[in-house]
DNA sequence: TCAATCTGTATGTCCGGACAATCTGACTAC
DNA sequence: GTAGTCAGATTGTCCGGACATACAGATTGA
């Protein structure tokens, strides 16, 4: 049976993107079964009235996502394994929301403070210069899940406490026109101090999962530095990795 | 000043790859400074005697690596931030070796065992069928750093204890012709049991960093399932993430 | 003075074709 | 029977061109 594919040339959506989305949907939906050959590019292009480079571009984007594997002389196959999504720069808020956990946020602190040496180094600003300090408690089902402490350089965008309570920090940044580009992360663990334990309803000395992150926008500016602690009984980092070819 | 670029058409190395490597080296070396424009593609292609698609392919590969940013109507810029390497599917052995830590491995167990339900589900084999069980202690500077417990389906390759002591598991798999494709990881934390604490020279109840991982090859087979525990005072997961556009 | 418009420039998308490299499977020779 | 060889199939690389689109800065108008 042939897969039903078609493209709309009057649409402003690029042709290769239309095709890659349809293929991805077919894989997701199970119409294209794992291990099945995709059929050769030439014929596929002819069937759709597209050129081979356009078809290749569509296929390539799915190869980059890890959904397809190409083999010279063989063809293009759907990957067997259950690839869900290759690790993205995710926000805890979005993750929880996607998991249907209806996250809540309590803003504990939202003020300007002088940058410590550590924060200044991470954000690339002068020591003791003003930076935003935001402390938040993230809850799911009424239970505390994580304590988030973030520092942001001033003047980036308006840090409204009400907005911080109803959405995630990354979403606010994107809405403010900031193009996130990359982040440097560090995940570790340590025993909870008494203050940390109190905030997260754990006991002193209980194991905590920690994450530090500096996020950069596409101009190379550091736009956020965060120190987060998670309750390991409630949260763990799950992600899919791709081997870079 | 113009960057010195050249391609060797007699080389079997693809032209776009030659170019991307030279550009990457120039960025690494500082010849191309962060924020500098790369010069437009048309002229670059003309200067090198290449076509624009080839130049674009070279540039695109560096954009995918996060080293360059393209802006329509503006040009292609070198990213400011200190991108080191976007998260790879790394092996602890390679990581330690790259950090100059001269890792040592002590193989505690290397035998065939019947697969438990958990292992069978992860590897996609029948329950109670034979699988390899490998337990290793990874040390750096004579200090235990991590306890690694791995399960592998039988018949993949020869699991030699001596080789396991002198190199990493991933390197052995690659050497055996297995093409690693993706992995599903989960990073968490928990308190050490007495047995775990003894192995890692920690105290019972001390926080441990945990990682579970299933690795797949390019045919979709699960080739390895691992449960690792790390001493958080000695090890943390550090990596760079890219925002997928 | 400030805002809207225009224009140049650079990347984004798309085409059609050509040849090379590699894998699979069948055929052939020993 | 086994190993080597060959042919077909399919992706990999590369070319040259065309037009669309978006951004930045200069120009123009109010």
Per-residue pLDDT tens digits for B75-95: 998 987 766 666 666 777 777
Cα B110 to its chain centre, rounded Å, is 24
Instruction: Kindly give the confidence (pLDDT) of every residue in chain B, 245 residues in length, as a single tens digit, with 9 standing for 90 and above.
Output: 456 778 888 888 899 999 999 999 998 888 888 888 888 899 889 989 999 999 999 999 999 888 899 988 889 989 877 666 666 667 777 777 777 777 889 999 999 999 999 999 999 899 999 999 999 999 888 889 999 999 999 877 778 888 888 888 888 888 787 888 888 889 999 999 999 999 999 999 999 999 999 998 887 788 999 999 999 998 888 888 887 76
**CB of residue B73 closer than 7 A to nucleic acid strand C?**
yes
Q: Closest nucleotide (CA of B38 to C1')? A: C10
Residue of B17, B59, B22 lying closest to B42 (CA atoms): B59
User: DSSP secondary-structure letter at B37?
Assistant: B
Tell me the nearest-neighbour CA distance from B79 into chain A, angstroms.
6
Q: In a 3-state reduction of DSSP, which class is residue A161?
A: helix
pLDDT at B123: 92
Token output for B167: 């190199």
Contact check, Cβ <8 Å, B182/A83 = yes
pLDDT at B1: 42
Q: Which positions on chain D have an atom < 7 Å from some protein CB?
A: 8-18, 21-24
* Sheet containing A143-152, strands listed edge to edge, beginning at the edge strand earlier in sequence: A103-114, A130-140, A143-152, A222-230, A207-217, A180-191, B237-242
Residues in chain B: 245
**CB of residue B224 closer than 7 A to nucleic acid strand C?**
no
φ/ψ (deg, to 5) at A31: -65, -40
pLDDT at B2: 54
Q: How many CB pairs under 8 A join A and B?
A: 157
- pTM of the predicted structure, to 2 decimals: 0.85
Measured distance CA(B205)–CA(A5) in Å, rounded: 57
Measured distance CA(A242)–CA(A245) in Å, rounded: 9
The secondary element (H helix, E strand) that includes residue B188 is strand B180-191
Tell me the nearest-neighbour CA distance from A209 into chain B, angstroms.
6
Measured distance CA(B67)–CA(B34) in Å, rounded: 9
* Those residues with Cβ within 8 angstroms of residue B122's Cβ, 6 or more apart along the chain or in another chain: B151, B214, B222, B225
Q: Are B69 and B32 in contact (CB under 8 A)?
A: no
Q: Which residue is nearest to nucleotide C10 (CA to C1')?
A: B73
**CB of residue A59 closer than 7 A to nucleic acid strand C?**
no
User: DSSP secondary-structure letter at B157?
Assistant: S
């Amino acid at each position: 049976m042939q897969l039903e594919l078609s493209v709309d040339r009057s649409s402003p959506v690029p042709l290769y993107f239309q095709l890659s989305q349809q293929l991805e949907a077919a894989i997701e939906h199970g119409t294209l079964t794992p291990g099945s050959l995709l059929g050769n590019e030439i014929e596929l292009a002819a069937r759709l009235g597209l050129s081979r480079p356009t078809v290749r571009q569509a296929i390539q984007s799915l190869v980059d996502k890890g959904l397809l594997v190409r083999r010279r002389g063989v063809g293009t196959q759907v990957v067997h394994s259950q690839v869900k999504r290759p690790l993205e720069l995710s926000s805890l808020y979005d993750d929880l929301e996607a998991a249907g956990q209806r996250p809540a946020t309590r803003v504990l602190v939202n003020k300007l403070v002088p940058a410590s040496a550590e924060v200044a180094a991470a954000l690339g600003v002068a020591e003791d210069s003003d930076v935003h300090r935001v402390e938040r408690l993230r809850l799911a089902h009424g239970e505390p899940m994580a304590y988030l402490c973030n520092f942001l350089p001033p003047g980036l965008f308006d840090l409204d406490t009400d907005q911080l309570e109803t959405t995630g920090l990354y979403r606010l940044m994107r809405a403010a026109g900031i193009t996130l580009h990359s982040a440097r992360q560090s995940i570790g663990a340590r025993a909870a101090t008494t203050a940390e334990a109190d905030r997260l309803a754990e006991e002193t000395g209980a194991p905590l999962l920690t994450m530090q992150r500096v996020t950069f926008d596409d101009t190379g500016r550091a736009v956020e530095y965060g120190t987060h602690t998670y309750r390991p009984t409630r949260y763990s980092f799950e992600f899919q990795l791709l081997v870079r070819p």
